[in-house]
A = this chain, B = another copy of it.
Amino acid sequence: MDNATRSERSRNAVIQAALAIIARDGPARLTLDAIARESGISKGGLMHQFRSKEAVLKAVLEQQIEHFEAISRDYEAKFAGNHPAPHLAAQIATSREAAVGSHVAALAAYGALADQPDLLSASRKLDVDKVQAIKAEADDPDLALLRWTAARGLAITAVLGLCPFSDAERARLFDRLLDNHAWTRPATAAKPVAAGKAPKSR
């Protein structure tokens, strides 16, 4: 087998093994030996592909981020044009996916955050862009941001097992968040409540 694809295969097996362990046993049991065992690769091989455990974590996180970025892109494409606020809708829909899927993503983040908080800076950076897009397209930017935040909160709490809502209730709330004409800007509120920043021109 080709050398490059060999490495690729191994690295991939490692990432999948790590995700499986996190999903099955929790982030606390994600050890290098466990990863080696689960992936069928020896520890030496594992350490050849990833210099350290942190490197493995990083790869896992990047994979998960890319996974949800892809979903996000799909929704963006789907909503573009025929939706009054496509970016917002796409992000809410993506959060909904994160909330229902196997909760691996944030549990991985969890494990990472405990040791290396900066591994998540990448994710936050992506969020900044999305926030920009949501603000730009919004009639009432703060309202849009809050809808996004609510969706985010719903997803994170669900993944972390902190969500006090039933599945049905959560689904209903996501629907409401997505239902654009349930969120018309109240006539009285342009409302930049005292907060230094000058209200953006638009």
Contact = CB atoms under 8 A, between A and B. Distances in A.
Interface of A: 26-28, 110-111, 113-115, 117, 120, 123-124, 127-128, 130-131, 142-143, 145-147, 149-150, 152-154, 156-157, 160-165, 168-169, 171-173, 175-177, 179, 181-184, 186, 188-189, 191-197
A177 B127 CA distance: 21
A130 to B, nearest CB: 8
Given A153-B154, A175-B194, 11 more contacts: A26-B117, A111-B114, A124-B164, A143-B176, A146-B147, A150-B150, A152-B153, A153-B153, A172-B197, A181-B186, A184-B186
B197 A123 contact: no
B195 A188 contact: no
A192 B172 contact: yes
Copies of chain A in the complex: 2
A27 B114 contact: yes
Contacts of A142: 172-173, 176
Contacts of A186: 181-184
Contacts of A143: 176
19 contacts: A110-B110, A110-B113, A113-B161, A123-B162, A124-B163, A145-B173, A149-B150, A149-B173, A150-B150, A152-B153, A172-B197, A175-B195, A176-B189, A176-B191, A179-B191, A179-B193, A181-B188, A182-B188, A183-B186
